[in-house]
Amino acid sequence: MLQANPSSLRMRLLATAAVLAISAASALAQGAANPGSAAPPAAAPPVAPGAPGASEAAGADAAAVAASSSDWPCVQVKVHTIDSAAVWDGPSIEGLKGYTDDDALYNVVSKVVSRRTPVAEAEKAVEDYAKSIPEAERDQKLTLLFSGVLDTANTQRSGIVNGIERYQKRQRSNAKEIETQGEAIADLESKAPSDLTVPTPELDAAREKYDWFARVFQERQGNIPIACEIPTLIEQRVFAVARAIRAQMKS
């Protein structure tokens, strides 16, 4: 009797669990954004392709992923831009532009917003820049500096949020492809003669393809929590820089 390949079987179990994780993450994200929404029903445990009920389980997993209306996989609430009121208590920056026209100011904006710059170094750059400005112009220039920091950070943040959503859409598509392949393997295994002990070349090829897809899927899935932290880190940086700017102002 043909036996399922243990390595392939484990990979399919892991991949099925990862598919369920996508649905769960999307549900959590939707729940965070909509606190009044009903909680989704608990997902059933994954069933290995080839086992009784495998086709039904795979179909249910795919349906769960497809049913989620959110392409946002993070538990953090999706917010494209940072509201100045959340990080700034200084003069209004509404309609304030022109930070790119001042080379010295623009260089400071670029440095302090960059995630490559340690926050302590960014705060020191703000202090040094403030000291270089005549006192009569300091508050005005520092307000413009914050305007530039927020504008640049929001451009970055929005791009990252959009990138995370594109990534999640690809993962959802990949999850459906994995499930389709798992169903095809289960079908091949069920049709194999009862006295067959060695997999056919067709089944071997299907298992190898499935394992490769599942492995890549899981590696990519592991990047999502890291990416989800980036918008929060940007907001924390903007808050720290805003505080450093305000410490150098009189108004």
Lowest model confidence (mean pLDDT) among 123-127, 141-145, 220-224, 234-238? 220-224
Q: Note whether 49 and 186 are within 8 A (CB).
A: yes
Q: What is the mean pLDDT of residues 153-165?
A: 96
For the chain, the structural domain boundaries read 6-77+180-222
Residue 91's pLDDT is 95
Q: Convert the pLDDT of each residue in 196-220 to its tens digit.
A: 778 888 999 999 999 999 999 999 9
Query: Around 190, how many Cα atoms within 13 Å sit in the side-chain half-sphere?
Result: 14
Is pLDDT of 17 > 90?
no
Q: What is the mean pLDDT of residues 38-61?
A: 40
Give the burial class of 183: count Cβ atoms within 10 A of its Cβ; 0-12 exposed, 13-18 middle, 19 or more buried.
middle
Q: Note whether 57 and 13 are within 8 A (CB).
A: no
The CA-CA-CA angle for residues 154, 141, 232, to 5°, reads 25
Is pLDDT of 161 > 80?
yes
Is pLDDT of 80 > 60?
yes
Is pLDDT of 135 > 50?
yes
Length of the chain: 251
